[in-house]
Amino acid sequence: MKLRIGVYICSCGTNISENLDIDELARVSSSLDTVTYVKVHNLLCSEEGKNYLAEDILKEKPDRAVIAACTPKEHEKTFRNVLQKAGLNPYLFQMVNIREQIAWVTSDKTAATDKAKSAIRMAVRRVALHEPLEKKEIDCNTDALVIGAGPAGMEAALLLAKAGRKVSLVEKNAFIGGRVARYEEVFPKMECASCMLEPIMDEILHDENIELLSCSEVQEVLGFVGNFVVQIKKNAGFVDKDKCLGCGACYDVCPVKIKNEFDYNLSERHAIYVPYVGALPNVPVIDKKNCLRFKGENCTLCKESCMFDAINYDDKDELLERNVGGIIAATGFELFDPSVLPQYGYGRIPEVYTSLEFERLLSQTGPTGGKLLMKNSKEPESVAIIHCVGSRDKNFKEYCSSVCCMYALKFARLIEKHSPSVKVYDIYADWCVPGKDNQAFLNSVREWENIKFLHTSLPMNAEIQQKGDAITVSCTDINGKKNELSCGMVVLCPAMLPSKDNMRLSELLQITKDQDGFFAEGHTKLAPVSTNIDGIYIAGCSQGPKDIQNSVAQGAAAAGQVLASLVPGRKLELDVMTAEIDGKACAECMICLNLCPYKAIVLDREKKVAVVNTVLCKGCGTCVAACPSESANSRHFTTQQIFAEIEEALK
């Protein structure tokens, strides 16, 4: 049975009609034996035009429609809607661009009309091969997994929980709060960091929609957006959190003393411990590697000291499974190791510290109780702070780490507050202090009489040597003059790097990383928390160096993405123009699988074919062009449809 193909030509007022001969175009098009009828209209996109189109479709009942008008980028959607309402599948339609790409760009009217004739013929041949594609929907889970319980992860978890979603919050450490748990005060308002975090952490621990899985790591992620299955390993802590009151009786009886990594080895802890006073959850864990009992000895000192019978040596690691719809990766940062740069003396000279180590020295819960003391328990006479160690340096990290200028000023302000007689030398290359309050903070720290600023040029060229009891710092300033100063302590501001976990997680989640290992955002400006994988979002320093304010904002943004895309009661609508693979010809060569940027193709090992997951497929067609056996085809952009256009174009 012959297809009834209706052609509608729009003259777009005079836009099209003044540059090509509409009547001639209509005449020639209706003489094609594949065309059933041709109708001309003045302005199809107007209300009147759309009504005319709908009524005409209802009347003529064509099997296919071709509309020659403006660019499809303008009105393809408009006309698809009209056709759908008029009872014609919106994909049994092809639009012809006779305005932007013919009428408006061709100087000769006859040549323009000829080109339009050819374009309509191409569309008529193509549309005959169109299929009536139908939108599909699938169910989705609206709960979420958040990886990382720092400021970004906690913000995301709280927002999601508030909206009624169940959140599994996975944290590899025994404590929550991320890096901020290590700070005494935060810039620019010099707020007490723990006071700031306290109410947030409290909510995390008590919200009934949040399941905190501390000492846990994600092992495997299967599935896709709306339908993820996640495997999480929860490491045994050997202390029952429901029985433990956090009284601390078990710590001091433990005979083992080892370096406390929370304090960057500047203090010691026991084998049963909380990393710092005030850590949350307030439940100690036993460090299996260093505990005497786990090394074979029959020590039960901690268990004997516990009045609540909370210690259980038989606790086992658990493998948990969770079903979620969306995942947020907020794995934070670590610092560049300055021992790679021998001129800074880090690791060689005892009183050279990284900024995170220095935070512990200034913290009330740290190794010195917040007093600025050197390892010999004396107060230094002066402290030098060096910016841009490894940052803004083409040999290491080209980027600016965003927070160092501000925390260097914070250090100066804290020293001024608690150890006002200590002098501070601040060696900087530039001031990076964007944001509403930060410039004012810089201005105010500048006024302190005990701080001296040394302006150098990039890359940072400070050299640090131990000279007797003191440290000498030499560097060339911005005027080329060599400066030398003597101080008791040096604080380095190393570049911010992504957490080492990003490597492993990016493989598990199949999300891409940038050249520095940070998770790659979908689009720098327009999709800062999305990734190449639908349903997986990123937030905080795992995406790039940033301060707490921006980390929290991104945590909220990522939660927003989950809330918007996965709605209870609403099904996930699948893209229509996806790729499909004909199993009969597929040879499992896996070329398509490896090419797909969205990991939308999987191997069905039983049927021995590659299968396109239409939830993830975006319809780019890269796999189709690459398939050597032509088993892959692109819905609505099939090879046959394009061949038809090509052949007709050249007749």
Give me the residues that bind other proteins (CB under 8 A), please. Answer: 71-73, 97, 99-102, 104-108, 111-112, 114-115, 118-119, 122, 532, 577, 595, 597, 618-622, 624-626, 634, 637, 639, 642-643, 645-647, 649-651
Question: Which DSSP state fits 543?
Answer: T
CB of 147 vs other proteins, minimal distance in Å: 23
Shortest distance, CB of residue 119 to other proteins, whole angstroms?
7
Query: Least CB distance from residue 129 to other proteins, whole Å?
Result: 14
Nearest partner of 288 among 315, 265, 267, judged by Cα: 315
* Closest CB 117 distance from other proteins, rounded Å: 11
Minimum distance from CB of 85 to other proteins (Å)?
25
Q: Which residues contact 336 (CB under 8 A, 6 or more apart)?
A: 389, 390, 391, 396, 397, 494, 495, 496, 497
Structure tokens at 535: 């349903």
Closest to other proteins by CB, 245 vs 527, is 527
Length in residues, the chain: 651
Q: How far is the CB of 511 from other proteins (least distance, A)?
A: 12
Residue 534's nearest CA partner among 596, 624, 580, 594 is 596
The end-to-end CA distance of the chain, in Å, is: 26
In the bound state with other proteins, the residue whose beta carbon lies nearer, of 430 and 645, is 645
Q: Mapped to the 3 state alphabet, what secondary structure does 114-169 carry?
A: HHHHHHHHHHHHHHCCCCCCCCCEECCCCCEEEECCCHHHHHHHHHHHHCCCCEEE
Q: Give the pair of three-digit tokens for residue 308.
A: 């609540």
Whose Cβ is closer to other proteins: residue 36's or residue 622's? 622
Pick 523 or 605: Cβ nearer other proteins: 523
**Residue linked to tokens 């955002």:** 521
Is the Cβ of residue 271 or residue 620 nearer to other proteins in the bound state?
A: 620
For the bound state, the minimum distance from the C-beta of residue 641 to other proteins, rounded and expressed in Å, comes to 10
Closer residue to other proteins in complex, CB, 64/322 = 64
Element of type H or E holding 53: helix 47-60
Exposure string for 388-414, b = 16+ CB within 10 A, e = fewer: bbbbbbeebbeebbbbbbbbbbbbbbb
Minimum distance, C-beta of residue 642 to other proteins, in the bound complex (Å): 6
- Give the nearer residue to other proteins in terms of CB position, either 100 or 463: 100
In whole angstroms, how close is the CB of 350 to other proteins at the nearest point? 46
Do 304 and 356 touch, CB atoms closer than 8 A? no
Q: Which is nearer to other proteins, 399 or 637 (CB)?
A: 637
3-class SS string, 406-440: HHHHHHHHHHHHHCCCCEEEEEECCCCCCCCCHHH
Residue 45 or 485 with smaller CB distance to other proteins: 45
**Cβ 20 to other proteins shortest distance, Å:** 10
Our CB check for other proteins shows the closer of 212 and 509 to be 509
The CB-of-615 to other proteins minimum distance in angstroms stands at 16
Smaller CB separation from other proteins, 477 or 645: 645
Half-sphere CA count of 297, side-chain side, radius 13 A: 10
**With respect to other proteins, which residue has the nearer C-beta, 349 or 595?**
595
How many Å separate Cα 134 from the centre of its chain? 32
What is the C-alpha separation between 358 and 184, in angstroms, rounded? 10
Q: How far apart are CA 275 and CA 278, in angstroms?
A: 9
Instruction: Count CB atoms within 10 A of the CB of residue 364.
Output: 14
Q: Count CA atoms closer than 13 A to 57's CA, side-chain side.
A: 26
DSSP letters for 276-309: STT-SS---EE-TTT-TGGGT----HHHHH-TT-
Pairing assessment for the beta strands 496-498 and 333-335 based on DSSP bridges: antiparallel
Give how far Cα 621 sits from Cα of 513, 530, 582, 601, Å.
Answer: 23, 22, 15, 12
Output the smallest distance, CB 114 to other proteins, in A: 7
